[in-house]
A and B are shown apart, each in its own frame.
Chain A
Amino acid sequence: MSIIRYQAPDFSTLRSLDRWANLRDEINSLFEGPAWSNDTRQEQLFNGWLPALDLYQTNDDIVAVVELPGMRKEDIELSLHDGMLTIGGERKEEGAEGVKTARTERFVGKFRRSISLPTRVDASKVSANYKDGILSVTLPKAEEVKPKQIQVNVS
């Protein structure tokens, strides 16, 4: 089973009410089931960081695009096992002497998330690129699952 990140509902159509939307969400969350469910902030508290992940499909590849701002390349771990792509790593705190935190919204620490890939991929040809805080992982599909053109011969 793949782990799906919780997504905040889209209030973009109610733009003029957005200042109230926050308040409404907070109030709604009090009434919606157990306190630990359906709440991004709670989720972060228990599950750590769940970076946004997009998955694309082309004829030859599966491409995963993950938002990982402010990482060092060597702190990102990628693994592929049994059709499951796992992206993990650690964001280290820049803990210099005498630094006081006035406000913290950024996540610090270890994180991990997995997604099951829709088709089989060739693990030996996976490539990854990290730029502007976005990790792009290209996973070429296994030869046998690639769509093939079949020539029809008229005799």
Chain B
Amino acid sequence: MDTLVRENRTEKRTNGHAPAEQFVAPVATVLENGDRYTLQVEMPGVNKEGLEMCVENNELTILGRRSLPEVSGTIIHRESRRENFRRVFELDPSIDAGKISAKIEQGVVTLTFPKAEQVKPRKIVVS
């Protein structure tokens, strides 16, 4: 139970074909803080409107569509990728999917996952 999420690399592709749209996997950090986990995902250029998240079969899919700043003129040096972001995480069964909260701030999505009641340490009172 030491990790909240495991990246799902064995994601099924429809009929063995690659999906039409290509994505880049954003970098992520997972923190454990007492009774909750925090997942931070870096998605520069994504704002609240471009963010889609869903949980299905214990899998969390985060999709970020970028709204990049419009720059007129010609590009003379490029390092950034144009693709949107997508990453799938497998959730630990101890996570209560109904209580996930999320926010996005300067291109970083922060998700908070409270641990389900049964995994929290419980004090047993001796009577």
Chain A residues with CB under 8 Å of chain B are 5, 7, 12, 15-16, 19, 52-59, 61, 63, 65, 67-71, 96, 98-106, 115, 118, 129-134, 136
Is there an interface contact between A65 and B80, defined as CB atoms closer than 8 Å? yes
B107 touches A53 (CB 8 A): no
- Interface residue B123 (Cβ < 8 Å from any Cβ of A): no
A105 and B27: CB pair below 8 A? yes
Q: Does B46 contact A (CB under 8 A)?
A: yes
Cα A111 to Cα B77 in complex, Å, equals 20
Cβ contact within 8 Å between B74 and A69: no
Closest approach, in angstroms, between the C-beta of B20 and any C-beta of chain A?
Answer: 10
Task: Output the least CB separation between A15 and chain B (Å).
Answer: 4
Complex-state Cα separation, A68 to B69, whole angstroms: 13
B76 to A102, Cβ gap below 8 A?
no
Category for how many chain B residues contact A:
35 or more
CB <8 Å contact, A57 and B73: yes
The yes or no answer to B57 lying at the interface (CB within 8 A) is: no
Query: Within 8 Å CB of A12, what residues of B?
Result: 22
- If A67-B80, A96-B33 touch, whether A57 touches B44 (CB-CB below 8 Å) is no
Chain B contacts to A: CB under 8 angstroms = 2-5, 9, 16-18, 22, 27-34, 37, 40, 42-47, 67-69, 71-81, 105-108
A67–chain B nearest beta-carbon distance, Å: 4
Tell me which of B46, B69, B81 contacts A136 (CB under 8 A).
B69
Distance from A31 Cβ to chain B, minimum over Cβ atoms (Å):
24
Q: Are A132 and B44 in contact (CB under 8 A)?
A: yes
Tell me which of B4, B31, B43, B75 contacts A55 (CB under 8 A): B75
CB-based contact B45/A99 at 8 Å: no
Pairs A-B, 3 closest by C-beta atoms: A133-B107, A58-B73, A69-B107
Given contacts A57-B74, A99-B31, contact A52 B106 (CB under 8 A): no
Contact B33 A98 (CB under 8 A): yes
If A69-B107, A101-B30 touch, does A132 touch B73 (CB 8 Å cutoff)?
no
Expressed in whole angstroms, the Cα–Cα distance for A70 and B106 within the complex equals 5
- Name 15 interchain pairs, CB-CB below 8 A, sorted by A: A12-B22, A16-B16, A55-B76, A63-B71, A67-B107, A69-B106, A70-B40, A70-B106, A100-B31, A100-B33, A102-B32, A106-B40, A115-B77, A134-B68, A136-B69
Flag if A101 contacts B77 (CB, 8 Å): no
